[in-house]
Amino acid sequence: MNGSHRTELDGCYDIDLACTPFTNTLPIRRLPLHEGDSAELPVVYVDPETLEVRPVTQRYTRTAGHTWRYESVDTGYVTTFEVDEHGLVLDYPDEFRRVS
């Protein structure tokens, strides 16, 4: 960041931008999870208001073919959302809904 190595971000392969559900697609497509499986992973979180960058831990669980449970391990936030056949979010309750 700004030309400096941030060791606390080592191991983070995904990014989370709270202003878009698209960043949920990245781990969903990368992780080969079957129904009932879950994975916990370190993620780079970028706050869209302050641009603060920090590592967070997230857990994704595939609850059904196109349904996922997302958990922010750090904050305790939990939600379930649906994706299409490409892993793009269709409905993220109280946050986003894709319209035609």
Contact 44, 14 (CB under 8 A): yes
Phi-psi region at 90: left, alpha or beta (left = phi > 0; alpha = psi -120 to 50): alpha
pLDDT at 5 over 80: yes
Dihedral of CA atoms 91, 57, 48, 3 in degrees, nearest 10, equals -140
Confidence label for 87 from pLDDT (cuts 50, 70 and 90): very high
pLDDT at 99 over 90: no
31-62 pLDDT tens trace: 989 999 999 999 999 999 999 999 999 999 99
pLDDT at 43: 97
> In this prediction, what percent of the chain has a pLDDT beyond 70?
100
As a whole number, the mean pLDDT across the chain is: 93
Confidence label for 98 from pLDDT (cuts 50, 70 and 90): confident
